[in-house]
Structure 1
Amino acid sequence: MQACALTDVGEFTHIERERPDVASDEVLVRINRVGICGSDIHYYQHGENSGNVVEFPHVLGHESAGTIVEVGEAVQSVAPKDRVAIEPGLSCGECSYCGNDTYHLCKNMEYMSSPPTDGALVEYVAWPEDFVYKLPESVSLREGALAEPLSVAIHACERAGISEGDSVLVTGGGPIGQLVAEVALAHGAEDLVLTDIVDSKLRLAEQRGVDHAVNVGTDDPVEVIESAVDQDGVDIVIESSGADPAIETTTDAIKRGGAIVFVGIPIDAALPTDVVGIIGDEYDLKGSFRFSGTYPEAIEGIQTGKYDVDSIVSFERGFEETQAAFDEASESANVKGVVRVSDE
């Protein structure tokens, strides 16, 4: 089979690999669509991400969907020709985190595209039955691939505890920020503010239902919140950019007794607060890492129209144009790029 491997920093090479065999509990998926994540871009540009260093050659891509072509002898829930979304994380199933809904915190997690585990920019992937999800006919394979970033957004909003009538600030208008805003609105958030420095991303956010889109290059988001939302701040802040200025804004924008959730991964940033501040204002600081058990909700939400993941896609390119796709995805004006591995 064909694989598109990262063979050096900034360099993809199409290579031949053996088509994988399936174990008794696995399925073989012909990959159709793969979304390009910010972490993939970081590996492409720097050869590492959050301390994980690539050993070349390495295959990227963890937002994927495709069609089953073969199943192992013990597989019962899916069959050949089923269209599926692939949940990219494989927990060990044995540690204390794996016995409940915290399996995403498993310290032995193997995650597609995170070294040393190869990703989905290949023609075929063998994957356990328990981590593939059948797609309804009305959900496209591209939408199925984007169930992964949607799952990140769902988990972040769950961590925030968003409820009806909450005011929310989302920092960052990239794919996660756009989807976090949509999930927050679906949970009943009102007066939703989204910030970025790129006007096209702010216009997209407005089209997708955001109440206040603020360009932080020209406007102070805290002033906008105080004048247009509440002089005391917002109930919830979800930091989705990983940018230092946005991280610093979180504690200025939060209302006393509110909650701040960090989901964007910074290169190197300190918490923008001190213990006295946390005590005096009694706000919660939380992290949000990947997701667990969210794929069924994500797929159902796409099917019912509750969530629109397709509109965050800025472009799509063919498998042979993977490197060009990564270069295009690196441009700040683009929200989400998708690689079309197969037309089948």
Structure 2
Amino acid sequence: MKKFITKAARLNGPYDIELIERELECGEDDIIVKNHRMGICGSDKSFYRGKLPPKTAEFRQDPKFPFLLGHESGGTVMAVGSRVSDFAVGDRVMAFGWCNNFAEYFRAKSFQLQPVPYNLDMDIASLGEPIACAMYSGLHCGVNLGDFVVVMGGGFAGQIIAQCAKKEGASCVVVVDVLEGKLRLAKKLGADEVIQLGNEDPVARVKKMTEGTGADVVIEAAGSEDSFNAATEMLRHNGKFVFYSWVTTPITLNISRWHDDGLEFINTCLVHHTWQQRYVWTPEALRPVAQGMIQIKPLITNEFKLDEIRQGFELADKDDTAVKICFRP
């Protein structure tokens, strides 16, 4: 049984993250992966701030402190157990599971990995999970030719979804965010209009732009109570409300409008379907990226060494202009 010694991130409590040494044994149904690159997810930031969600099927470890953090990464298979038949040493893979991925090496089961498709550059493939999730949302959010589309949130996912919506034929794509820097980036990447929260009311602006009708599609990628309710109010009658973000605490919503205006709700959370469905859908979601139709590199704003895990998370916590923060082993 092969063993690997690795540095790995452990979240001991709110704002208390450190690298520890772990020994990983490659059991008979295990796969050991050497990491190429890792990314901070919005959920990682929430956990770092002490907002752990209730336990769900997605978590194979209890969401409580100390928490072995990380799920966005990819790399090369270094060892496989005797019962593993679908991956081999040398395979390039993307992680799709909470495997303590802020580490030099991580251990996973077959269902938590995905082969790298289309010979993607590993710098991009290592972020395959967040890219595929956002792309899946953009490709399945129901945008039709000529639609007026609003993306609530100009983070990593929101920027990708906005690009998808425009490529799919939306007549107007509007990105809403509180930060001017993210809005400038959205315009650079193809958004038609932007709305800066704090400077203007997004609902009033959308209603004015659509002559009182409201948006055809709103994708919620900000993850706040205010964002959910603004999305609800700016949709037209029978409009499409697209779920993307993960809200880990209870919020109050205007359910009456959901009912009375017959809003259509679309859940586009790729990783929360079965792993078999994800295995099929991920290559489809990543194909436009491989074809160069969607820009990813401008969204990667900061990079650190894994040894600088504290500095990276401090930046993520304090500077929301950082769209995607990455680490290398």
Range class of TM-score, shorter chain: 0.7 to 0.9
Query: Residue 37 of structure 1: which of 31, 36, 41 is its match?
Result: 41
Query: Residue 257 of structure 1: which of 235, 238, 245 is its match?
Result: 238
Q: What is the identity, as a one-letter code, of the residue corresponding to 2:93?
A: V
Query: Residue 299 of structure 2: which of 312, 324, 340 is its match?
Result: 312
Report the equivalent of 1:177.
158
8 Å CA contact 2:9, 2:17 repeated in 1: yes
- TM-score (structure 1 length as normaliser): 0.81
Instruction: Report the 3-state secondary structure (helix = DSSP H, G, I; strand = E; otherwise coil) of the residue aligned with 1:19.
Output: strand
The structural deviation recorded for 1:212 is 0.7
Query: Residue 197 of structure 2: which of 216, 228, 236 is its match?
Result: 216
Query: Residue 285 of structure 1: which of 265, 275, 281 is its match?
Result: 265
CA distance in 1, matches of 2:158, 2:211: 21
8 Å CA contact 1:22, 1:28 repeated in 2: no
Report the equivalent of 2:326.
338
Q: What is the identity, as a one-letter code, of the residue corresponding to 2:326?
A: V
8 Å CA contact 2:151, 2:162 repeated in 1: yes
The structural deviation recorded for 1:56 is 3.8
Report Cα offsets for 1:111-141 as digits up to 9, x if no partner.
x0xxxxx521122223233443333575232
CA distance in 1, matches of 2:125, 2:25: 22
Q: What is the identity, as a one-letter code, of the residue corresponding to 1:43?
A: F
The structural deviation recorded for 1:286 is 4.2
CA distance in 1, matches of 2:169, 2:72: 27
Q: What is the identity, as a one-letter code, of the residue corresponding to 1:328?
A: L
Instruction: Report the 3-state secondary structure (helix = DSSP H, G, I; strand = E; otherwise coil) of the residue aligned with 1:184.
Output: helix
Q: What is the identity, as a one-letter code, of the residue corresponding to 1:21?
A: C
Report the equivalent of 2:79.
70
Distance 1:306 1:5, change over 3 A: same
The structural deviation recorded for 1:64 is 0.9
Report the equivalent of 2:250.
268
Q: Which moved more, 1:171-180 or 1:122-131?
A: 122-131
CA distance in 1, matches of 2:211, 2:86: 49
Q: Summarize the alignment of residues 134-283 of structure 1 with structure 2, pairs less than 5 Å apart.
A: 134-135=115-116, 139-157=120-138, 160-266=141-247, 267-274=249-256, 277-283=257-263
The structural deviation recorded for 1:75 is 4.2
Q: Are 1:14 and 2:23 matched, yes or no?
A: no
Which segments of 5 or more consecutive residues in structure 2 lack a partner in the other structure? 56-61
Report Cα offsets for 1:232-252 as digits up to 9, x if no partner.
111111111122222221122
Query: Residue 54 of structure 2: which of 51, 62, 74 is its match?
Result: 51
CA distance in 2, matches of 1:229, 1:223: 10
Distance 1:299 1:327, change over 3 A: same
CA distance in 2, matches of 1:140, 1:320: 24
CA distance in 1, matches of 2:184, 2:267: 28
Q: What is the identity, as a one-letter code, of the residue corresponding to 1:285?
A: F
Q: Summarize the alignment of residues 287-302 of structure 1 with structure 2, pairs less than 5 Å apart.
A: 287-291=267-271, 292=273, 293=278, 294-302=281-289
Distance 1:264 1:132, change over 3 A: closer
Instruction: Report the 3-state secondary structure (helix = DSSP H, G, I; strand = E; otherwise coil) of the residue aligned with 2:124.
Output: helix
Distance 1:257 1:137, change over 3 A: closer
CA distance in 1, matches of 2:137, 2:121: 24
CA distance in 2, matches of 1:338, 1:35: 4
The structural deviation recorded for 1:196 is 0.6
Structure 1: which 4+ aligned runs deviate by more than 6 Å?
A: none
Report Cα offsets for 1:151-208 as digits up to 9, x if no partner.
3323434553223222211111112211221232233323011101100000111111
8 Å CA contact 2:39, 2:326 repeated in 1: yes
CA distance in 1, matches of 2:263, 2:13: 44
The structural deviation recorded for 1:257 is 1.7
8 Å CA contact 1:87, 1:295 repeated in 2: no
Report Cα offsets for 1:247-282 as digits up to 9, x if no partner.
2211221111211123223333222241xx345422
Q: What is the identity, as a one-letter code, of the residue corresponding to 1:300?
A: R
Report Cα offsets for 1:17-71 as digits up to 9, x if no partner.
11231424x432101211101111111121x422357444322111110111123
CA distance in 2, matches of 1:285, 1:130: 28
CA distance in 2, matches of 1:188, 1:119: 39
Instruction: Report the 3-state secondary structure (helix = DSSP H, G, I; strand = E; otherwise coil) of the residue aligned with 1:49.
Output: coil
Report the equivalent of 1:27.
31
CA distance in 2, matches of 1:20, 1:187: 46
Cα RMSD of the aligned pairs, angstroms, is 2.3
Which segments of 5 or more consecutive residues in structure 1 lack a partner in the other structure? 89-111, 113-117
CA distance in 1, matches of 2:235, 2:243: 13
